[in-house]
């Protein structure tokens, strides 16, 4: 019985991650692809006219020792966690902050209520790492 319920839970969690990636992909195409490109490589139609080149979002893990910095990426999207090197070419995405919250592990062992769409966007970006 116990094994069964763990299996059911794992399946439910997997389904949850799956649908997050789908929502994240939809938001990404609507809000981010204009600069970062449909594939996330930084080659969107607006890229050329910006003061800074939009990052290639498929190489974030590769540039970070093979680890996807989930919390940092969320901070870069909503604007709370941007380093000083930021030019301001990328808008802060407050709309992504609206709506339902989910509990996400923002630091090892630290669970924080976090906007669902923000988590979904970061999950989508994680899914396109090379
Ligand atoms: C108006 C153009 C523009 C739009 C729209 C945009 N970005 Fe950006 N983004 C940039 C630029 C330019 C940078 C490089 C940092 C800088 O200097 O501003 C960047 C950097 C980033 C980074 C940091 C990547 C790294 O390598 O560390 C992430 C993550 C990111 N963007 C995600 C997103 C997401 C997700 C969206 C949609 C919600 C989005 N961006 C929409 C222009 C844009």
Across the chain, what does the average pLDDT equal?
Answer: 86
pLDDT tens digit string along 24-72?
999 999 999 999 999 999 999 999 999 999 999 999 999 999 999 999 9
Is there an atom of ligand 1 within 6 Å of 46 CB? yes
Q: How far apart are CA 106 and CA 121, in angstroms?
A: 15
14-23 contacts: CB < 8 A, separation 24 or more? Answer: 17/123, 20/116, 20/119, 20/120, 20/123, 20/124, 21/120, 21/123, 21/124, 21/127, 23/116, 23/117, 23/120, 23/124
Q: How far apart are CA 66 and CA 45, in angstroms?
A: 29
CA of 28 to the centre of ligand 1 (A): 11
pLDDT tens digit string along 82-93?
877 778 888 888
Model pLDDT, residue 9: 53
Is there an atom of ligand 1 within 6 Å of 32 CB? yes
- Whether 14 has a pLDDT exceeding 70, the answer reads no
């Amino acid at each position: 019985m116990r094994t069964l319920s763990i299996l059911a839970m794992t399946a439910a969690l997997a389904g949850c991650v799956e649908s997050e990636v789908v929502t994240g992909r939809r938001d990404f195409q609507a809000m981010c692809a204009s600069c970062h490109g449909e594939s996330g490589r930084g080659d969107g139609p607006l890229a050329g006219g910006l003061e800074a080149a939009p990052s290639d979002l498929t190489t974030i893990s590769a540039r970070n020792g093979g680890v996807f910095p989930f919390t940092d990426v969320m901070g870069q999207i909503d604007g709370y966690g941007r380093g000083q090197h930021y030019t301001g070419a990328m808008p802060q995405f407050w709309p992504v902050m609206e709506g339902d919250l989910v509990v996400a592990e923002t630091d090892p062992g630290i669970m924080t209520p976090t906007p669902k769409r923000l988590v979904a966007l970061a999950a989508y970006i994680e899914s396109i790492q090379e």
